[in-house]
Amino acid sequence: MAEIQITDADWLDFHPNPSVPRFVLPAGAVDAHCHVFGPRDAFPFAPERKYTPCDAGKDKLFELRDHLGFSRNVIVQATCHGKDNAAMVDACRAGGELARGVASVRHDISRDALAEMDAAGVRGVRFNFVRRLVDATPREHFVEVAERIQAFGWSIVVYFEAQDLADLAPFLASLPGTIVVDHMGRPDIAKGVDHPDFQRFVELMAEHENIWSKVTCPERLSVQGPPDYDDVVPFARRIVELFPDRVLWGTDWPHPNMKSHMPDDGKLVDFIPKIAPTAELQRKLLVDNPMRLYWAH
């Protein structure tokens, strides 16, 4: 009998009516970090998941894209779907040229399976090191995946927490192709932007021109909280100003595992000009960089 999948009791649903942002996005802007969850009737969650979210399907995602003024989405496989990429791939197919995907795959995935995902719009894989989200993956499995995707010109997204950077840095530096770090490596905002931990992340990017960062998730990182998330601004702004050609931005809709509050996605868009204050920085962050990385073919 099919498992009945019940949303976690403490789950926070995405904002029901986000505001219209005051910041007008540049033409062709890309939401380069978002997810789809199910809907579970069509795309059940994975047995090995660590959380059971609300349904948040592609129709809602595309509605939000249009409401906020984005043109395109990069849909990142969420851990609640494990390595079953069906919901993400279905959303990519439905989005056509307006959507790209980042998958989570087994180390022994076949070339045909990669080719099928490539045809649907997938352009990368995600390596997740966050222990509350996934069981540990042997590093040699990640290396094997990294080698298999080279034929397709895909990039790698990595998700880890700040305390793991020192241990992970040599491994990340050894990976081929473009490596995109989720949410600036999740710095501890309370420590301040000049703390050695964040400096280590800045140095990693300075030393390795293939390492990019998503300057995302002020709502997750902020100690101060909504609606302005001003304490995260110095961190994101430093990365944008130092590495303007290697940064991406995304909503992180539907905001998995937010426990303190659910952000208003319109207010998140209003965060962008604080971290990318000029039209040129905004264009690179929102259009040029994601287009170069995810729409090259």
- Shortest Å, Cβ 105 to ligand 0GY: 14
Phi, psi of 152 (to 5 degrees): -100, -5
DSSP line for 109-143: --HHHHHHHHHHTEEEEEEE--TTTS----HHHHH
Smaller CB separation from ligand 0GY, 46 or 113:
46
Binding to ligand 0GY by residue 222, rule CB under 6 A? Answer: no
Min dist CB 130 to ligand 0GY, Å, is 6
Q: Does 185 bind ligand 0GY (CB under 6 A)?
A: no
265 touching ligand 0GY, by CB under 6 A: no
Residue 118 corresponds to which amino acid? D
Least distance to ligand 0GY, CB of residue 30, Å = 16
- Whether 8 is catalytic is no
Q: Is 293 in the site for ligand 0GY (CB under 6 A)?
A: no
Cα–Cα distance between 200 and 219 in angstroms, integer? Answer: 22
Q: Alpha carbon 70 to chain centroid distance?
A: 16
Q: Which is nearer to ligand 0GY, 29 or 78 (CB)?
A: 78
**CB neighbours of residue 188 within 10 Å:** 15
Say which of 252, 264, 265, 270 is annotated catalytic: 252
* Closest to ligand 0GY by CB, 7 or 257: 257
How far separated are the first and last CA of the chain, in Å rounded? 42
Q: Which is closer to ligand 0GY, CB of 78 or CB of 181?
A: 78
Torsion, CA 70, CA 102, CA 95, CA 263, rounded to 10: -40
Angstrom distance (rounded) from CA 81 to CA 78:
6
Q: Examine residue 78 and tell whether it contacts ligand 0GY (CB under 6 A).
A: yes
Contacts of 232 (CB under 8 A, 6+ apart): 189, 218, 221, 222, 271
Q: Which of 71, 73, 79, 178 binds ligand 0GY (CB under 6 A)?
A: 79
For residue 145, the surrounding DSSP H or E stretch is helix 139-149
> For ligand 0GY, which stretch binds (CB under 6 A), given 77-85, 204-212, 241-249, 259-267?
77-85
Would you say 28 or 82 has its CB closer to ligand 0GY? Answer: 82
User: E strand or H helix at 180, and its extent?
Assistant: strand 179-181
Residue 133 interacting with ligand 0GY (CB under 6 A):
yes
Q: Is there binding between residue 168 and ligand 0GY (CB under 6 A)? A: no
Residues 6+ apart with CB under 8 A from 90: 42, 43, 58
Which span sits near ligand 0GY by CB under 6 A: 16-24, 78-86, 147-155, 197-205? 78-86
The stretch near ligand 0GY (CB under 6 A) out of 12-20, 75-83, 137-145, 195-203 is 75-83
Q: Read off the tokens for 41.
A: 């009737």
Q: Which CB sits closer to ligand 0GY, 62 or 159?
A: 159
CA distances to 9, 17, 162, 248 from 182, rounded to whole Å, are: 27, 26, 11, 9
Residues that bind ligand 0GY (CB under 6 A): 35, 78-80, 133, 159, 182, 252, 256-257
Q: Indicate which residues carry an active-site annotation.
A: 252
